[in-house]
Structure 1
Amino acid sequence: MTPDEFYALLATFDIDLSDQQKTQFEHYFECLVEWNEKINLTAITEKSEVYLKHFYDSVAPILYGLIENQPVKILDIGAGAGFPSLPMKIIFPQLKVTIIDSLNKRIKFLELLSQELGLEQVELLHGRAEDFGQNPAYRGQFDIVTARAVARLSVLSELTIPFLKKNGRLLSLKAAQFEDELTEAKHAIAILGSKFEKEIAYQLPNGDERHIAIIEKKKETPKKYPRKAGTPNKSPIK
């Protein structure tokens, strides 16, 4: 996917990028490739692949009407090189984005990237989701939590749901079908005070399948969750 093809596809969803936004995406790509030589950010570095599998894929929640250009608080868990939250931030500048990542080198990259792109209201936090999830400054504070290829739903639910406000939503972006994951995670989702709402299935322009699982928080998460760092992955809620 060339940049022009990317812009044209967005236009079919009534999203017309300004010259500034196009420049931001181009500079994002340049910074990603430059920094990827220093730290491992992504295995995908060819321009057409970055625009397709990182930029276009990341903005799917916008394309399918799950996020609007409003000052909502979005938390991105394990964003790595900033996906999916920063491409969405470029398109919808009003979004208030917080990113948590456990690797400080990635946070340093994201700090530089945000400055280079002129992105405001982006908060970058180095640490574990389990620790921040017990911090009153972040627990129960977000309208939306996004996660892209971070963990199975049974684990991801515990890492993300505690951050949501009541009626907030977890958007889990998956490459493959997740019916088995959902069956495995339903009990954990309920214990954490949430409910699976629906799935959006779609294809990238090259035919690759993608899915977004939408989970809504219905009531407060019990205080014991999330458990200490590492525990959700070693011992998912059954």
Structure 2
Amino acid sequence: MTNEDFIEALSSAGITLTTQQVRQFERYYELLVATNELVNLTAITEKKDVYLKHFYDSLTVAMYEQKLKSSESTLIDIGTGAGFPSLPLKIAFPDLKITMVDALKKRVNFLQEVVDTLDLTGVEIVHGRAEDIGQNPKYRENFDYATARAVARTSVLAEYTLPFVKIGGRFLVMKGSAAHQELLDGQKALAMLGGQINEEFVFTLPNGDQRYIQIVDKKTKTPKKYPRQAGTPSKKPIS
């Protein structure tokens, strides 16, 4: 996907980028590739692939959750890695307030460099594990949206994310071809943590790769015992 393809595909989906935003995506790409030579951020480094599989793919969630486009909503991105999906969302929708969580200090340093270089505001970067931060009153049940990308299967991901979502907010699940089965397997975890599936969307990226966006409503408070201590959700998923 070339820069022009990226701009055109977004425009077709109702997302129009300014000249400044186009430059921000370009600078983000440059920083990603340069830093990736020193820190393992991503296996995807070809420009056309970064624009398709990282930038465009990150923005697909706003095509199905329209409020991300036009409101000052708060979104927390768990295990954000190199900043996906939250940084592309922030660049495209500057009013969105984002919090990025990652456990690796080198990735946190990269994210801060991107935020500073692109002069982004309304961004918080938190170094730590979701299991610990999810018990912090400053963050717990304090966000309109929580999401994560390529972190864990849905039953585990729910425990990482739903404790951050306020009642009436949403957990935005971004998955590949195994998404529907993971959702079925994760029904007990979602319910126990206060979530309920609202909608599921299936679509393909411009290259034909299948993607799912699942929208989970936060209906009730998450029990205080969740998230459990670091490492437990992945070793002993709710089932």
TM tier relative to shorter chain: over 0.9
CA contact (8 A) 2:146 2:164 kept: yes
Deviation (angstroms), 1:197: 1.2
Match of 1:97 in 2: 98
Q: Which amino acid aligns with 1:233?
A: S
> Structure 1: 5+ residue runs without aligned partners?
none
CA distance in 2, matches of 1:127, 1:223: 19
CA contact (8 A) 1:195 1:217 kept: yes
Map residues 1-238 of structure 1 onto 2, 5 A cutoff: 1-66=1-66, 67-238=68-239
Deviation (angstroms), 1:172: 1.2
Deviation (angstroms), 1:65: 3.7
Which SS does the other structure have where 2:221 is aligned? coil
CA distance in 1, matches of 2:46, 2:171: 30
CA distance in 2, matches of 1:57, 1:83: 9
TM-score in terms of structure 2 length: 0.97
Q: Which amino acid aligns with 1:63?
A: M
CA RMSD of aligned residues (A): 0.9
**Deviations 1:174-214, CA, capped at 9 Å, x for gaps:** 12132221121111111111111121111100101011121
Q: Percent identity over the alignment?
A: 53
CA distance in 2, matches of 1:111, 1:161: 25
CA distance in 2, matches of 1:209, 1:99: 26
Aligned length: 238
Q: Which amino acid aligns with 2:30?
A: E
Deviation (angstroms), 1:64: 2.6
Which SS does the other structure have where 2:69 is aligned? coil
Q: Which amino acid aligns with 1:138?
A: Y
Deviation (angstroms), 1:69: 2.2
Q: Which amino acid aligns with 2:43?
A: A
